[in-house]
Amino acid sequence: MDVIRALFESQILFTLFFTVALGYLVGEINIKGFSLGSGAVLFVGLAVGGFAPKSAPPALIGTLGLLLFLYGVGIQYGAQFFRGMTAPEGLKANASAFLGVLGAGAVALALVPLAGVKLDQALGMFAGSGTSTATLQAIIAALKGDGAAVGYSVAYPFGVAGPILCIYALNAILKPKIEQPANQAIELAEIALRNPDFIGQRLSVLTAKLPAGVAIAAVRREHHNQLPADSLVLRVDDVLLATSTNPEALKAATALFGELQPGRITAHREDLDYQRFFASSKAVVGRALGDIVFPTGLDASIIQVRRGDADMLPHPELILEFGDRVGLLVNRKDTKALRKFFGDSIKGTAELSFISIGIGAALGLALGLIPLTIPGVGKLTLGLATLLLLALYLGKIRRSGPFVWTMPLSANLVLRNFGLTIFLAQVGIASGPKFFATVGSEGITFLAYGALILIALVLITAALALWVFRLPFDTTAGVISGATGNPAILAFAGRVAPTDKPDVGYAMIFPSMTVAKILFVQVAAALLGG
């Protein structure tokens, strides 16, 4: 054992990545739907640190990992975050989560005078109950102790398991009726124009009468397919290629304009053909469809955008992202030029703009150094919380001139998960000795304290969301997931409520509550830390 201990303490990078590997192996252990996921890296790190006290990597490595995690989260969820801060439902959701966070924080602080818990340990349990690694980092930076990591690690299991059990119990008690939405796909209808009200009218007059969610992708006249032009004067027996993700809307359009004649357009591709390209070029990524200008001499009609596993009907405000698959009606002779215009590179969809990341991260760190004066508290610097706020803003605007702030979803996930893993490993190894010393003497008591803080967070959030603000159950599940933070909770919420509302709720709440938790511990540390 001494040989292994000496290896761990002399080869710090080896120890770090050994911790990561073993942590993920442990995190994959699933017991009736519950697993620790990446959080297991922290516990393995604590064990390694307890076994080899001198094996801790420099704290800067952990800070770098957390920076990557926060920046990736902000870039991905920026648009949802700002919508949530202004929409009525989003304001209610944020209010529910914010009061839940304050309630949990109040319980944590009450433990200091009532139970004799040290401030850094109490705030660490607050961070662990909310599974917020960013909050843990803020406590460590403010109070310069290792008690925070100890409290965090003790409370973390309740922070993951508690919300899952709560969502399960609420679902069992309330038995909400949640219908799983059908997988939306683009459907086509070839409609021969028969309605005399539109004969002799411009196509723009007809499109103004289209049912919601329906678009005209092409027109066939005199044995030739052509792209839709607003100035086109309609004739009897023109065939319209209508597209929609709503079959009922297509039926309404058919009844309004004429009759179905399948195959009139799609069976003839000598004039127009369907092509699909990956969006990977800076000429299109980060731009709204209405702002995309095709090169001179090229003409095409965008009829479909597929993002991830979802089809989206194109509209002028839809902004393309890296990796979107764009379906177009084009003349075959223009295929090569359009492929170059869109990029059409799978490799390109996984590449990062390190210039944009470098500028964004540097600016966020610089702004985080600016002290803010809070009456009664004094001057505070937000540190990495400012980085998160800036990343959220950059994720919302998507691009500024030549700088594309967004990144491919796959690359984003890899970047932030790697960063989170490195942070958890570093903090766990560094805190291992203190953790075992504390748990050995205060273990059962600290476990009870962590559970108490978590119960306050979840119950206050759930009660306000469901019964005060009357939010739907699937939205509430997302709000609880965002308030507590761990992606494992969101995954369980998605299984209980199989709609998109848990994801949307999480996206609205997670960034704002991360900032709220960071600010809470910073204010508490400034007022009570000494």
Give the start-to-end residue ranges of the domains of the chain: 57-177+358-528, 187-348
pLDDT in tens, 292-321: 988 888 888 888 898 776 788 788 888 888
Taking 70 as the pLDDT cut, the residues of the chain under it are 32-36, 180-184, 309, 348-352, 374, 376-378, 380, 442-443, 488, 530
Give backbone dihedrals phi and psi of 109, rounded to 5 degrees, phi first: -65, -30
pLDDT in the model for residue 210:
92
Q: 372-374 and 378-380: which strand pairing? A: antiparallel
What sign for the dihedral angle of Cα 468, 469, 470, 473? negative
pLDDT in the model for residue 182:
57
The closest of 56, 272, 243, 18 to 146, measured between CA atoms, is: 56
Q: Which two tokens stand for residue 201?
A: 């009218």
Reported pTM: 0.73
pLDDT in the model for residue 378:
65
pLDDT in the model for residue 79:
83
pLDDT in the model for residue 36:
66
Cα torsion at 317, 323, 327, 331 (round to 10°)?
110
pLDDT in the model for residue 172:
87
DSSP conformation letters of 422-443 = HHHHHHHHHHHHHHHHHHHHHH
What sign for the dihedral angle of Cα 128, 130, 131, 134? negative
pLDDT in the model for residue 255:
93
The answer to whether the beta carbons of residues 46 and 496 sit under 8 Å apart is: no
Give backbone dihedrals phi and psi of 215, rounded to 5 degrees, phi first: -135, 155
pLDDT in the model for residue 81:
81
- HEC profile for 490-527? HHHHHHHCCCCHHHHHHHHHHHHHHHHHHHHHHHHHHH
pLDDT in the model for residue 107:
96
d(CA 206, CA 244): 16
Taking 3-state DSSP, the helix, strand and coil percentages for the chain, each rounded to the nearest 5, stand at 60, 15, 30
Which residue shows structure tokens 């996921």?
Answer: 37
Q: Which two tokens stand for residue 400?
A: 């500024």
The answer to whether the beta carbons of residues 523 and 138 sit under 8 Å apart is: no
pLDDT in the model for residue 473:
94
pLDDT in the model for residue 286:
80
d(CA 218, CA 231): 14
CA angle 177, 180, 183 (to 5 degrees): 165
pLDDT in the model for residue 301:
85
Neighbours of 456 (CB within 10 A): 22
What sign for the dihedral angle of Cα 357, 359, 362, 366? negative
**Size (the chain), residues:** 530
> In the CATH hierarchy, which top-level class contains the domain 187-348?
alpha beta
Beta bridge partners of 225: 220
pLDDT in tens, 417-448: 898 889 888 988 987 887 787 777 766 788 88
pLDDT in the model for residue 53:
87
DSSP state of 334: G
- Cβ burial of 423 (10 Å; 0-12, 13-18, 19+) is buried
Q: Crossing angle of helices 487-496/147-174, nearest 10°? A: 0
pLDDT in the model for residue 181:
60
pLDDT in the model for residue 416:
84
Beta bridge partners of 524: none
- HEC profile for 183-213? CCCCEEEEEEECCCCCCCCEHHHHHHCCCCC
Give backbone dihedrals phi and psi of 243, rounded to 5 degrees, phi first: -125, 150
pLDDT in the model for residue 476:
95
| Cα–chain center distance at 8 | 36
